[in-house]
């Protein structure tokens, strides 16, 4: 008695990966009207509700930016939840103290690496090079040099924040060491 067709799974080596199938895969689309992307980010429809929307990453970020986690809570319960979150997040702050999850060699944090990239410096730049790069870039986009230029003001603010991150990290290193 012969079968109608031959499977690719006979013999050695296997021609398909283990667990692979030819069946159609059900893909849930984003619940945002008009979006055809994959909706794999659940978002609650209402506070403390088991019902969920399923959005793509872009629409989930937009939805969550307007979300009020404490909506409908009394003041005491709001403070209790805030304290619980701060207590739970204290472990992350402690990990940052030990330079865990930082740059590859552990000498700089991810924020410091982003700040160095913004200033156009390498990861091994010393603080004098950081200060020089900050001054040179600030002279180009300072609001006094380019009055009324919103883009220059935005760049100046980003440069200023990057410098503050690197200065605070340098002060911590001097204090430790």
Domain holding 36, by residue range, is 25-67
Whether residue 133 is contained in a domain is answered as: yes
Per-residue model confidence (pLDDT) at position 101: 45
Select from 67, 95, 123 the last residue of a domain. Answer: 67
For residue 38, count other CB atoms closer than 10 A to its CB. 14
Q: Tell me the pLDDT of the chain (177 aa) as tens digits.
A: 455 566 655 555 555 566 666 667 788 889 888 888 988 888 888 767 788 888 888 888 888 777 777 777 888 988 888 888 777 766 666 665 555 444 445 577 888 888 999 999 988 888 899 999 999 999 999 988 888 889 999 999 999 999 999 998 888 888 765
The answer to whether residues 44 and 24 touch, using CB atoms and an 8 Å cutoff, is no
Per-residue model confidence (pLDDT) at position 10: 59
Q: Give the rounded distance of the alpha carbon of 86 from its chain centre.
A: 19
Select from 39, 67, 95 the last residue of a domain. Answer: 67
The answer to whether residues 42 and 53 touch, using CB atoms and an 8 Å cutoff, is yes
Per-residue model confidence (pLDDT) at position 100: 47
Whether residue 10 is contained in a domain is answered as: no
DSSP labels, 8-74: TTSSSS-SS-TT---SPPP-PBPSSTT--SB--EEEESSTT-S-EEEE-HHHHHHHHHT--TTTT--
**CA distances for 21 relative to 7, 18, 51, 139, angstroms:** 11, 9, 31, 61
Whether residue 102 is contained in a domain is answered as: no
Domain tally, the chain: 2
**Are residues 117 and 60 located together in one domain of the fold?**
no
Identify the CATH number of the domain in which residue 167 sits. 1.10.287.110
Whether residue 84 is contained in a domain is answered as: no
Whether residue 48 is contained in a domain is answered as: yes
**Are residues 62 and 114 located together in one domain of the fold?**
no
Whether residue 143 is contained in a domain is answered as: yes
pTM (global) more than 0.85: no
Whether residue 104 is contained in a domain is answered as: no
Whether residue 114 is contained in a domain is answered as: yes
């Amino acid at each position: 008695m012969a079968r109608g067709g031959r499977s690719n799974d006979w013999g050695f080596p296997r021609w398909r990966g283990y667990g692979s199938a030819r069946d159609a895969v059900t893909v849930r689309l984003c619940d945002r009207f008009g979006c055809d992307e994959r909706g794999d980010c659940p978002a609650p429809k209402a506070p403390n509700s088991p019902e969920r929307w399923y959005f793509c990453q872009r629409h989930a970020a937009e939805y969550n930016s307007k979300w009020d986690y404490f909506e409908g809570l009394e003041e005491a319960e709001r403070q209790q939840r805030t304290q619980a979150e701060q207590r739970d997040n204290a472990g992350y702050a402690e990990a940052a103290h030990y330079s865990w999850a930082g740059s590859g060699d552990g000498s700089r944090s991810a924020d410091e690496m982003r700040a160095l990239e913004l200033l156009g410096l390498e990861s091994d730049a010393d603080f004098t090079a950081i200060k020089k790069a900050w001054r040179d870039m600030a002279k180009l986009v300072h609001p006094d040099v380019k009055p009324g230029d919103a883009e220059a003001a935005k760049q100046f603010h980003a440069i200023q924040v990057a410098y503050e991150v690197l200065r605070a990290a340098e002060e911590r290193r001097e204090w430790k060491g």
